Chains A and B, each alone.
Chain A
């Protein structure tokens, strides 16, 4: 191409010659920007432990990806920013006091098994962050369900004791510590666990503004929604994905609520609690693992919403968003096959 040529060089391309589209790295970078306020709020709630966790997971994702690029002798794929999203999302789904070394493992597993194994960006079948989380959920069931209170007084000066646990050692029990820092009787249960095991409903306004216990970033539904509007407004995220997840959740929750309002929570509670908002806005909307066909997108979202409610109400776990999304990821090629768009004017 660049070889010296005595005549003027005319490069031939075929039409179209102009393009007007954000590039992949621009899209990914803007999703990272949209995630930053959620991260900041999480740090504000949980302090330096949450910050340390984000740094560790992001770093482990970046380093794993770099390592595999080096192994494959490929150009580094770090500049496309997709590994940063994986790292941040991963940290946001973990409890704030999650031991850092476990966070690092989640990052490594997410990138290697969830992404690189399938061929890197664009090829992953599942959302890599959720693959990482599913792995640590199975490997470290205690650590991943140990919640700490928000607004601990010393959260900016002191780590949550479990954060700094040494690899392969039992993390320090945080129950005692939680009692000392919490303002009123902290039970260590998330709103969903309270609902499920004790029949206690947390006020929806607390859920909306996010001052309840939970994973680092899945607490304020309002903030996540607001942050989601940015990439949607810039046409870098498909609004139909989160919208249909929320719709699916609402329909399914409303059904059970109408059956028996006494024992089932309201749809609003379902939508605002746990990781649903984070999952709907930032994980279900992962373009790569979701369908491309218009009806496929809607079905995919509805399935996630439906499964989330079913798992929450009838499954063994308190939270179902992760498995719902992973399941829908797996179903997405199938959804595509029977929702192919109808050709304009029909086929000849």
Chain B
């Protein structure tokens, strides 16, 4: 069944069309937010092992200075000071990722112009693949789409596979978020340079920048700058959630369905978020550390929603204060409304993978009744992985978690939340599946 592809509007089967809510921020150019008085930098901001702190209390650090090195021989990336200032402490702090994490706290130097330090100049064309990958590790780069997987490790897998195409993922299918959109529009040179660097690192001769058709401005803006040999192209996909997921994106572009857990590299593909690519293009030539990123601040009760360059480690308190949050009771979410993480404390810092801070005031929505499943099959119709969320939900209510995994492919679910989104009975389907997965993991450990 290849029906969606008959209509020359590339996409994947199933999925949902949530309201976009992007109008609030999409046309606002990125601006800089005032520097916070303090930043909190968790040593662990990536999948893998935490960095090892190289500074001590009371030490002065420059903006962009290396303050923690990657754990040797582990999946780990270094960390740089995101403001110029004094190390106040290295201690356990709460983060959005769950348990308290050892973090470096820096008090900002009030009079500092906050100009980042540069390292040695380097030209990727003179560098070997291994050198480029090492340089990307030294930047402290992780996947900025939210996964926070160390970029160097992702690119290093290409050494074992034959990669022909780099796909820069600019789908940004989550409602509300416009970070990647602004990054692509405003950093064309860095984006294309980053593409060339990544393509060289994995020895690919083709690059695709994949966007959805709600970002056609990007295509128009990029077109004049694309290399004439056609090595880098822009592909426009139909706007649909969750197209930014690797499996969906690959199907939308190439019509191939890869099983969960199998690397795109086996198909000769390297998929990387556009913001990551643009940051590599901006930082690698001067060997600078990754210290700030573009973040969409949006949602209810904000006076100044928009896209802002914010140093990593800035607290939500500061961000909400600067953007004029006027509400009293709201949910704070790091990321989009479909897959973002909830945050309980205002002193939680944004981390490397935070693409958006979303403020939602939905008191009414919380009180909706939950009905029994009426087997309307809407969840079955939208599940991008073609699972049967209806039956999975009924099993979850009965705590039959093992059966969910063995017979109904629970572990293939990547928790996009489409099933919960469409459920007329308001059953928290994906939430139940998370619980089920956790229970199965626990049982396996025991």
* Chain A positions near chain B (C-beta within 8 angstroms): 8-27, 80, 119-123, 235, 238, 287-294, 297, 336, 340-348
Contact = CB atoms under 8 A, between A and B. Distances in A.
Contact of B331 (A13, A25, A238, A288): A13
B7 interface: no
A293 B257 CA distance: 20
Interface string B212-252: 00000000000000000000000000000000000100010
Contacts of B415: 15
Interface in B376-413: 376-378, 380-381, 383-388, 390-391, 408-409, 412
- A-B pairs, top 8 by smallest CB distance, nearest first, are A122-B372, A16-B417, A345-B257, A292-B377, A345-B259, A24-B371, A341-B386, A287-B376
Given A343-B386, A347-B412, A14 B423 contact: no
Nearest to A346: B259
A123 B328 CA distance: 41
A12 B426 contact: no
Contact of A342 (B18, B369, B386): B386
Contact of B362 (A9, A17, A80, A341): A17
Q: What DSSP secondary structure best describes chain B's contact surface?
A: loop
Interface string B315-345: 0000000000000110111010111111010
B261 interface: yes
Q: In the complex, which of the residues A8, A14, A80, A238 has the most CB atoms of chain B within 10 Å of its own CB atom?
A: A14
Given A17-B333, A24-B424, A8 B328 contact: yes
A23 B424 contact: yes
B286 interface: no
Given A13-B342, A345-B258, A345-B259, A121 B388 contact: no
B147 to A, nearest CB: 15
B430 interface: yes
B129 to A, nearest CB: 29
Interface string B260-302: 1110000000000000000000000000000000000000000
B444 interface: no
B84 to A, nearest CB: 32
A123 B372 contact: yes
B375 A15 contact: no
B421 A120 contact: no
A13 B366 contact: yes
Interface in B161-175: 175
Interface string B338-382: 111110100000000000001010100110110111111110110
Given A122-B373, A292-B390, A343 B19 contact: no
Nearest to B431: A14
B380 A16 contact: no
B344 A12 contact: yes
B182 to A, nearest CB: 22
Contact of A11 (B331, B417, B424): B331
Contacts of B340: 15, 17
Interface of B: 18-19, 175, 247, 251, 257-262, 328-329, 331-333, 335, 337-342, 344, 358, 360, 362, 365-366, 368-369, 371-378, 380-381, 383-388, 390-391, 408-409, 412, 415, 417, 420-426, 430-431, 434
A289 B374 CA distance: 9
Contact of A238 (B18, B377, B383): B377
A233 to B, nearest CB: 15
B368 A23 contact: yes
A2 B388 CA distance: 36
Contacts of B328: 8
Contacts of B374: 24, 27, 121-122, 287-288
A347 B388 CA distance: 14
Contacts of B251: 344
A80 B365 CA distance: 18
A347 B434 CA distance: 19
Contact of B337 (A18, A294, A341, A345): A18
A344 B262 contact: no
A345 B417 contact: no
A341 B388 CA distance: 7
B426 A23 contact: yes
Identify the interface centre among A12, A122, A342: most chain B CB within 10 Å of its CB: A122
Given A15-B342, A293-B380, 15 more contacts: A13-B366, A16-B420, A17-B333, A18-B337, A18-B362, A18-B421, A19-B368, A19-B422, A238-B377, A288-B375, A289-B375, A341-B383, A343-B409, A345-B258, A348-B259
A24 B373 CA distance: 9
Question: Quick one: which of A10, A18, A27, A120 has the most chain B CB within 10 A?
Answer: A18
Nearest to B384: A344
Contacts of A20: 18-19, 421-422
A14 B381 CA distance: 23
Nearest to A9: B329
21 contacts: A10-B344, A14-B342, A14-B431, A15-B333, A15-B341, A16-B421, A17-B360, A18-B360, A18-B365, A19-B365, A23-B426, A27-B424, A120-B372, A121-B371, A121-B374, A340-B388, A341-B383, A341-B388, A343-B409, A347-B259, A348-B260
User: Which of A8, A25, A343 has most B Cβ within 10 Å?
Assistant: A343
Given A344-B247, A347-B259, A336 B376 contact: no
A288 B418 CA distance: 21
Contacts of B420: 16, 19
Contacts of B380: 292-294, 341
A19 B375 contact: no
A73 B41 CA distance: 54
A120 B425 CA distance: 14
Nearest to B13: A344
B410 to A, nearest CB: 11
